[in-house]
Amino acid sequence: MIETVDVEEFMSRTMGGRPCQLSLEIYSGCTYECGCGSTHTFSQHSTKVMREIPMLKLVLKDSECNFITLIKIKGIFKYRFESLFSASE
């Protein structure tokens, strides 16, 4: 189970960042564990990228969920997401 924290702690641990500048098409179909207990599939249509954090990390929010999740992008030729922690909005 992914670590869940309160929103204030989530914000302090993900301070900074910038609007996402990564090309995201290559990550379509990658899954990540969410604090809601479900596994979500990344899609540019249903997943909002809240911001990009240095070292290939993204703050994601699925359109069907009330949680925000920090993920790390792993892999070179085949990509996968590693969920770091999540918070309920």
- Taking 90 as the threshold, does the pLDDT of residue 10 lie above it? yes
Strands 3-5, 80-88: parallel, antiparallel or unpaired by DSSP? parallel
- 67-82, pLDDT tens digit by residue? 999 999 999 889 999 9
Query: What's this model's pTM, rounded to 2 decimal places?
Result: 0.94
Question: For the chain, which residues make up each domain, given as ranges?
Answer: 3-88
Strands 57-62, 47-53: parallel, antiparallel or unpaired by DSSP? antiparallel
Q: What is the mean pLDDT of residues 49-78?
A: 95
Which are the contacts of 49, defined by CB distance < 8 A and separation ≥ 6?
A: 20, 24, 58, 59, 60
What pLDDT shows up at residue 89?
Answer: 86
